[in-house]
Copies of this chain bind each other. A is one copy, B any other.
Amino acid sequence: MAHTAHAESQLSDPELDRLYADFDHAHLNPLWTQLDSLMPGTPSPRAVPFVWKWSTLYPLAQRAGDLVPVGRGGERRAIALANPGLGGAPYLTPTLWAAIQYLGPKETAPEHRHSQNAFRFVVEGDGVWTVVNGDPVAMRRGDLLLTPGWAFHGHHNETDQPMAWLDGLDIPLVHYTDTGFFEFGADGVTDESTPDISRSERLWAHPGLRPLVGLDTRTSSPMAAYRWEHTDAALREQLALEDEGFSATTEPGHAAVRYTNPTTGGDVLPTIRAEFHRLRAGASTRARRDVGSAAYQVFDGSGEFHLGDTTYSVGKGDLIVVPSWVEWSIHADDELDLFTFSDAPVVERLGFHRTITRQGA
């Protein structure tokens, strides 16, 4: 949608020129000359739909592993996905940052903390523990790991193999809104033990149960890890229930779970939503548009993302970004497992959510 032209003819008026110069001098800026770009008819993101292939990402991460040390200062060997529409900024979307983080054999990323909320999702490998506020959290394929804002955290690889994973943070939003703090912590990790599951899970990861020591409401989930076996089981059951004739899937052949904060039932982080979706082979999602931006990582299987007018073939590890209000749909060639995250909590908490689903299709 475009705003109609306005008073263009006056632009050569010398008095008007003087006025605009005086505006400029006084640090003022007229609305009427820029309304179209400031307040477009529908969201008009500079961010564009894009797909990063795992086959590109992983080798580059490996090369970085050979060339760039991890340690205090740079802090993390994390390679951010820079949306081609955003002019080189290391941003996935205006609100979300995502990166491949790579930790070589026996390496340690030192502890720090920041206001920015973070998660990690593991598409392959294991052997790294992320230590969150002193609690060692094993990272394994299919797990979602949380590092809520202002929690100290470091990572250490206990194996002889490198490990890479997906990091997601709200860095662009925090940077843009000037709301972030950062603090260095220990140079190593504060607890080097390597338990199978974290203490947070031992306290919290029991379905429908809260420890009596944890009855307060928390801004972010107190569970440091959401394990693949639970996610997988939940999706499997939804599809089985559908087969048995019960309402359990989001759309035919489309199972989905949202990761939640057990103290509220809401999103795991105040700024980031995380979900996992499974499509049966041959299934498609209905085309829709949402306000707010999202990304997907293929966990398993292969299929197609339709983003605007373009179709992208995707496979394991590939990362797909869906900017605000871009029409999107997904088709599964074989059974397709997708991790997804978005800024939906921001959009919803601020009252800007809208969705339209294409009827028929």
Contacts and interface: CB of A to CB of B under 8 A. Distances in A.
A335 to B, nearest CB: 18
A312 interface: no
B226 A208 contact: yes
A40 to B, nearest CB: 6
A31 interface: yes
Contacts of A52: 26-28
Contacts of A45: 178
A116 interface: yes
Interface stretch (A120-128, A155-163, A211-219): A211-219
A345 B22 CA distance: 34
Contacts of A259: 208-209
Interface string A170-214: 010111111111110000000000000001011111111111110
B262 A208 contact: yes
Contacts of A68: 7, 10, 16, 19, 30, 32
Interface string A1-12: 101111100100
A258 interface: yes
A164 to B, nearest CB: 13
B226 A56 contact: no
A311 interface: no
A82 interface: yes
A95 interface: yes
A77 interface: yes
Contact of A270 (B4, B5, B77, B350): B350
A341 interface: no
Given A75-B31, A199-B246, A43 B94 contact: no
A252 interface: no
B67 A257 contact: no
Given A202-B240, A206-B257, A178 B44 contact: yes
A79 B19 CA distance: 11
A30, A34, A270, A292: which has the most chain B beta carbons within 10 Å? A30
Interface string A343-359: 10111011110100000
A231 to B, nearest CB: 7
B182 A13 contact: no
A217 B79 CA distance: 39
Contacts of A347: 177, 179
Contact of A38 (B39, B175, B249, B270): B175
Nearest to A178: B324
Given A45-B178, A68-B16, A209-B234, A74 B32 contact: yes
